[in-house]
Structure formats: C-alpha cells, structure tokens
Amino acid sequence: MSLHPWVNESTRLLRPERVITEDTLLPLGDVTLKIGYLGAAHSDGDLTVLVEPDRVLISGDIIFEGRVPFTGSADTRHWLKVLERLEQRGLNGLIPGHGPAASDPRDAIRATLEYLRYTREKMGEAVEEMIPFADAYEETDWTELSHLPAFDATHRRNAYGIYLSMEQESLTNE
C-alpha cells in the first residue's frame, strides 16, 4: 500500500460532520481560521485556510512552491481568478499544497499565477488559430518556464490539458 504506514487495515473513513460550501469563520480562542471556499480551481471544492491574526495562508494545491504545478483536469481559468485575488492579501506566511513553506508568499503566488497565465496564453493562441497541439507545443518558446523543477516531467501534460480545456471554452463561448 503506497500510503503505509499512515493508511492501513485499521484505517476507517468517517463522514464529515460539516461540508464547507461557502467562506466560513472558525474561531479558536485568540485565533480565527478563515476558511475560503474557492470552488473548482485546481480540483473540486478547493479551500484555503487563513490563520488570523498571523496572516498565514494554508493554500492547498492552488499554490505550488518552487516547481511547476500539476494542472490535471483543473479549471485553470477559475484558478487564475483565485490567484489574482490572493495576490493582494498582504500575507506574512504561506504554506502551499506542494513544496516547502514559501519564503516570500507574494513570489510563490506570482510564480504559480505566471505559469498558468503564460501556458493559457500560448495554448489559447493555438486554439484560436486552430493549430494542432503537438505543433503548438513545439513552436512555443517555453524558455521562461523550462528552468522550473518538474518542468520536464509535468509541463507537456499540463499544456495539453489546458489546450483541451481552452478548446472546450471556445466552443461554449465562456
């Protein structure tokens, strides 16, 4: 089992007592957890937790520190909107979904944001011009991103998923 020793034959699944579907405040003594409901960005039902008064954000998978994010079947258009809102928060700390705690929260948010923007821009141009993915990928200058850790392992798959989702967006005029 790949999650051993944390998950084993003694592990039980419990139903949640509460499902978060909107922004929620959870006071805990002198600390308040502001749970931000993001909807489907990186994955269905993304949440963030902002610890007040410390201004530390626990971002989940909407922010990847020091590496290329994995987009999978994400709604990258919505993900970008979420990141654009987060960038203005004046955070003192950031614990991302992947990678170490961010040394500079604004830079971590900006890096994920710029990765998604650039990839969407290039794949969007290809979709608009009806250029097949393989050609578009090979013709695009990825130099700005190619230095990032996990680029070789992840980026082509991300670009393809974004290309397909942007094709769908263009068909539904969203």
**Average pLDDT value over all residues in the chain:** 92
Q: Is residue 16 part of a domain?
A: no
Cα(121)–Cα(80) distance, integer angstroms: 12
Q: Is residue 60 part of a domain?
A: yes
What are 106-164's pLDDT values in tens digits? 899 999 999 999 999 999 999 999 999 999 999 999 999 999 999 999 999 999 999 99
Residue-level pLDDT at 85: 85
Residue 173 pLDDT more than 80?
no
pTM (predicted TM-score)? 0.86
Residue 174 pLDDT more than 60?
no
Residue 20 pLDDT more than 90?
yes
Cα(71)–Cα(42) distance, integer angstroms: 6
Mean pLDDT confidence for 12-35: 95
Domain total of the chain: 1
Q: Is residue 68 part of a domain?
A: yes
Q: Is residue 2 part of a domain?
A: no
Burial of 65 (0-12, 13-18, 19+ CB in 10 A): buried
Domain carrying residue 75: 24-172
Cβ 71 vs Cβ 62: under 8 Å: no
Q: Is residue 31 part of a domain?
A: yes
Residue 78 pLDDT more than 60?
yes
Q: Is residue 19 part of a domain?
A: no
CATH of the domain at 102: 3.60.15.10
